[in-house]
Structure 1
């Protein structure tokens, strides 16, 4: 099972792009507001310069014509050209008093700015700041021309401009995120192929290969993946071949040991039985008191011959290739039922045509069943053991269940489970041994008959 990440990579990257874009928009907005504030103050400075120049001309004209009536300062002429909503023009004398002031009204904005924006803007830019220019005539300063704008008007204008920018952000940011997500989804589409390939490798399908990719980084991953799959396939093939040779050597050694036991111990036990029979005849004539010992020797030799016969049967089972797998396994189960004397009940069921099985698979299945029955009867102390062998179109499934102690066979029989694993691995199969919740154990073996055809990896993604 693959652990799913908490966040999808496309979502994570899209969120990062959105955060960076929002930060860029914020910087642009700040730059825009700063630039707008500077432009507003530059405009006020220019108006203040115009007002001051106009007042200087008025005062010069009065002095030139020597007019007794003085209407200085007169802001009406200049206000007709520079007045805008919320703008105030004033003349401040040298004493600091406002001698004349002229302000234009400002209509209430249709969409007033939020209070948060108003507080933020006024704390940073001071929209009520005045622009003043001195009025100097013949070297003497008469006062200052003062120009200002209502803070509410300047704040509303800034909000109006910032609102357009925020509207553009509200439209552009989701669109940008959608485009980025689509581009990332397209660029990361090969990662699904890589994940599918890894899942197939985990399922022991080492024939899996990744197709070429357009991106250089993914192509490097593809090369490494394919090289790893080829190396694993080669290593597994070499391991399977070595396991096959080891199993063949083990079987040959068993056959050789069986011949030695049969030729040496079998003949010796037969000779002991013959000598015991001869001694009994002699004892019956000359010393009847030795008849019990002679019979005991004969019984012991007979028991040893039966034990030897069972050992020989396990070392060298009947020729599966000649008898067939079904007949061989039925004979094996019948033999166990006979030897257990009712203490353990063995049953077997077949489903499929096993006559066409290759000899290597038949022999390995026989050995696996033989070892499993030995473990169940001798080590698990089971009272019921059921076997089911099923043959499908592409694989063979063996299921062995018992009601004995749920202990790992390898802990009791040494190389029992390991030997079964080696035989299954040599056939490119899978073996599992699990304890049942209600007691007992379950052995499952699946052996493929041929490599199953799979769809190309390009279409599997």
Structure 2
């Protein structure tokens, strides 16, 4: 299945905040540039109006004094008041010819705008646009007053102002990201506790609970988590109780079936053997040719008796409560070693004392080992099986390793593995079945001592 790449939530949210902040700064910068461009054009429009009015007054003065020396147009008087770096004043005649032009030089600066900003600014605005105002006297248009600003100067001024915003952005944005990341890390710190709680739930520790959180959203998650843990604990307790009842019913049915087989089938086989022995005595006196058939009937009855004893042993094992778990398991292993006739070797080792375990725990452990040995010998074809049962400070551990065929557990053991899982689940334990490191299979069962009752806990302590 395709897995999507994972990103840290704090990093993702911080990047989103940074992107939004950068977009806001860009919008503010664009608004500032637009406002500055409009102000610059409004300024040269006002200057053009002043120049046109000044020229009109000059021409009126010439006509009023009837001076033979027509000092028109004269841009020097107005330039002393309105000239700024890069500003150009001009008078254009009625035919469009430039009669007079006066420009101030651009300041020499080392802080030139980058080419990319210059291209962007020239593409977005028109820094070299002229502002023209007509010069009219007595209804006659004498020409136009033309005012413009050097595009390089206007671009440099815009870059100077935008550079301050970019400097503020360069300082504020990383600081904002650090503060947002720190705030998110603090706000999301409880998620580590939520993850730890989920891991405990996954490990079948249903006592995991989450403490109250400051954030309302995480508090809602905490309430749902605790409710889920309580519900799972209750459901598993009910399931375990039902499983115990089903297992007890199954064991009772096995004991009943064992009694029926022993009382009915066993007596019938004993009667057949007795009749075969009697028929053999009669045949030996009257019809020796029937001795072979009588012996065959006796052998068949003996074989069926042996098979019946094995079935009865599996259906109704020795009383674990009376013999003890250790003695019962040693007898089980000895029986398998005896029936294997050298084909399979079983070995068992104990670590700890198990005399104080309740009968329910001992019986379930015996059944689990019995089913595991049957799987290893009959289904996996193992030639060597090692068992180890150990009692630790807070749990009972069972390990069974064999050198048989390492196949699918369900296909190998059928309903047997399911039965073992149900017994382990009823004891609130854990079961794992997997391939061994050097071939074969490895069965691991861990049962907490809390399932074994207070006696076992006191003994272990």
The alignment's TM-score, normalised by the length of structure 2, stands at 0.91
Report the equivalent of 2:393.
Answer: 393
Report the equivalent of 1:198.
Answer: 198
User: Structure 1 residues 202 and 386 mapped into 2: Cα distance closer, same or farther (>3 Å)?
Assistant: same
Are the aligned partners of 2:351 and 2:391 in contact in 1 as well (CA < 8 Å)?
yes
Report the equivalent of 2:458.
Answer: none
Using the alignment, how far apart are the partners of 1:96 and 1:379 within structure 2?
110
Superposed, which structure 2 residues align to 1:369-408 within 5 Å? Answer: 369-408=369-408
SS at match of 2:106: coil
What CA deviation, in whole Å up to 9, does each residue of 1:30-71 have, x standing for no partner? 111111111111111111122222222222222223322222
Stretch deviating more after TM superposition (174-183 or 212-221): 212-221
Report the equivalent of 2:241.
Answer: 241
SS at match of 1:431: strand
Are the aligned partners of 2:409 and 2:434 in contact in 1 as well (CA < 8 Å)?
no
SS at match of 1:136: strand
Report the equivalent of 2:112.
Answer: 112
Stretch deviating more after TM superposition (270-279 or 419-428): 270-279
What CA deviation, in whole Å up to 9, does each residue of 1:118-146 have, x standing for no partner? 12212222211111222222332222222
What CA deviation, in whole Å up to 9, does each residue of 1:14-35 have, x standing for no partner? 2122112212211211111111
Using the alignment, how far apart are the partners of 2:9 and 2:409 within structure 1?
45
1:114: how far off? 1.0
SS at match of 1:100: strand
What CA deviation, in whole Å up to 9, does each residue of 1:145-172 have, x standing for no partner? 2211111111111111111111111111
Report the equivalent of 2:215.
Answer: 215
Report the equivalent of 1:123.
Answer: 123
Q: CA RMSD in A?
A: 2.1
Are the aligned partners of 2:401 and 2:436 in contact in 1 as well (CA < 8 Å)?
no
1:323: how far off? 1.6
Report the equivalent of 1:435.
Answer: 435
Using the alignment, how far apart are the partners of 1:108 and 1:295 within structure 2?
130
What CA deviation, in whole Å up to 9, does each residue of 1:374-410 have, x standing for no partner? 1211222221111111221111221112222234464
Using the alignment, how far apart are the partners of 2:227 and 2:126 within structure 1?
68
Report the equivalent of 1:42.
Answer: 42
Stretch deviating more after TM superposition (319-328 or 210-219): 210-219
Are the aligned partners of 1:409 and 1:416 in contact in 2 as well (CA < 8 Å)?
no
Are the aligned partners of 2:277 and 2:298 in contact in 1 as well (CA < 8 Å)?
yes
User: Structure 1 residues 352 and 32 mapped into 2: Cα distance closer, same or farther (>3 Å)?
Assistant: same
Stretch deviating more after TM superposition (405-414 or 385-394): 405-414
Stretch deviating more after TM superposition (442-451 or 365-374): 442-451
1:241: how far off? 0.6
1:223: how far off? 2.6
Name the structure, 1 or 2, with higher relative contact order (CA <8 Å, separation 6+): 1
Using the alignment, how far apart are the partners of 1:273 and 1:89 within structure 2?
138
Aligned length: 449
User: Structure 1 residues 100 and 415 mapped into 2: Cα distance closer, same or farther (>3 Å)?
Assistant: closer
User: Structure 1 residues 275 and 35 mapped into 2: Cα distance closer, same or farther (>3 Å)?
Assistant: same
Using the alignment, how far apart are the partners of 2:252 and 2:233 within structure 1?
28
Superposed, which structure 2 residues align to 1:17-416 within 5 Å? Answer: 17-408=17-408, 410-411=410-411, 414-416=414-416
Using the alignment, how far apart are the partners of 1:298 and 1:48 within structure 2?
136
Using the alignment, how far apart are the partners of 1:239 and 1:431 within structure 2?
17
Stretch deviating more after TM superposition (295-304 or 332-341): 295-304
Are the aligned partners of 2:381 and 2:404 in contact in 1 as well (CA < 8 Å)?
yes
Stretch deviating more after TM superposition (244-253 or 191-200): 191-200
Using the alignment, how far apart are the partners of 1:300 and 1:97 within structure 2?
137
For structure 2, the residue ranges without an aligned partner over 5 or more in a row are: 452-461
SS at match of 1:207: coil
